Structures are given as C-alpha cells and as structure tokens.
Amino acid sequence: MRRLSVFNSVSLDGYFTDNKGDMSWAHKNDPEFNDFVASNAKGGNGPILFGRVTYQMMSSFWPTSQAIEMFPDVAIAMQNLPKVVFSRTMDKAEWSNTRLVKENIANEVRKMKEEDGDDMVIMGSGTIVSQLTQEGLIDEYQMVVNPIVLGSGRTMFDGVKDRLNLKRTNIRSFENGNVFMVYVR
C-alpha cells in the first residue's frame, strides 16, 4: 500500500500562506537548504498531488528556463514526475504528466493508495490537506518551519474538526533558521 505524505513550508505562527495567498516568504536562496530540497526531489518517483491554486503556481514556474537554471535537479524532477491536480473548476491540465481529477478527492486518493507504486506527496495545497486529514488518508506530515511571523493567513488544517495526535519522527535545523520536522499519525 502506498503512503501519502504532505510537504509544506509554514510560518512560525503556523500559516502556509499569508492573508493574500502569498508564500514567497518560504523561498530563500540558501545553498544548504537548496541542497536539501534538491535531494528531497530525488527521493521517489511517486505522484505529486496538488490543489488547483498550488498546481497553477507550480506549473507557471517549474517548466521555465529560469527554474531549470536556478534549480536544475528539482525542475527536471518536477517535469518528469506524475502529477495529479484536484479541481472542480479546471477543464484541463497542460503541464507534462498531469492528470486532472474533478470529483471525489477522498475516494480517488483511497484508490491511489491501494495501487502498487512509489509513495505520493502533496505539496502546498492546504484545502486538500485539510480534506484528506479529516478522512485519515495522510500518513506523514513534513513541515519546514520558517522563522517568520505572518500574523494571519491560512493553515493547512483549516476546517479540521477532530484532534489529530501526531508523533515526531525526524527533525533537522538549517543555518538560515528553517527547521524541518516530520510527524506521523
């Protein structure tokens, strides 16, 4: 059975976007952290899952020559990996290796978890993180806590009604102040 992980950057006060939907604060040009991100991108060949907003942001950057120049390993991985975007409003997904799913996200993810293959990861996409958390479908939460306080914004757990007890399985700190933490259910 495939596992499903989340990889998200969050502010010190727990937001993955500010109150305008911006997450540029999470992207620092730091060699140590960039190496970590690049090695994570080489981690597997399983699908990347996105909500519409994150998909549109990612698909507007990673296929560009700028992305290839700045982050070659990550850009190549992002192009080649299978991708699934969950959206009720999109008509088609044009980024390479992308499949559009318009309905019943939880059932689709259950089916995908039953399939053979590499583990899956959700990047960004707070709305689907919240939905899949409520359904008990996320196995692991990987978070990069950034040393910034936003004051307001969106958490990836907006709408979660029940308590979720997690166990920390990994932690790593970086010179830029970021802290990478991994939690499992």
Query: Which of the residue ranges 23-32, 65-74, 93-102, 107-116 would you say has the lowest mean pLDDT?
Result: 23-32
* pLDDT interval class at 36 (50, 70, 90): confident
Stated as kind and residue range, the H or E segment containing 181 is: strand 179-184
Count up the domains in the chain and report the number. Answer: 1
DSSP H helices in the chain: 31-41, 52-61, 65-70, 72-80, 105-114, 126-134
User: Can you tell me whether residue 64 is helix, strand or coil?
Assistant: coil
Rounded CA gap, 168 and 51, in Å? Answer: 26
Tell me how far CA of residue 101 lies from CA of 46, 50, 122, in angstroms: 17, 10, 14
pLDDT tens, residue by residue, 39-67? 665 557 889 999 998 899 889 999 999 98
* Average pLDDT in the chain: 90
Q: Answer yes or no: is pLDDT of 28 > 90.
A: no
> What are the two backbone dihedrals, phi and then psi, of residue 59, each rounded to the nearest 5 degrees?
-70, -20
Task: Decide if 51 contacts 126 (C-beta within 8 A).
Answer: yes
pTM value is: 0.89
The residue count of the chain comes to 185
* 74: CATH: 3.40.430.10
Residue 75 has pLDDT above 90, yes or no: no
Rounded to whole angstroms, how far apart are CA atoms 36 and 6? 16
Strand order through the sheet with 48-51: 98-101, 83-86, 48-51, 120-123, 4-11, 140-146, 179-184, 167-173
> Is 33 within 8 Å of 174 (Cβ atoms)?
yes
Which two three-digit tokens encode residue 96? 């390479």
Q: What is the rounded CA–CA span in Å between residue 58 and residue 55?
A: 5
Q: Which domain holds residue 122?
A: 4-184
Low-confidence winner among 9-13, 33-37, 141-145 (lowest mean pLDDT): 33-37
* Listed range (5-14, 43-52, 108-117) with the worst mean pLDDT: 43-52
Identify the pLDDT of residue 107.
96
Place of tokens 């992207």: 27
Q: Is the pLDDT of residue 181 over 70?
A: yes
In this prediction, residues 122-141 reach a mean pLDDT of 92
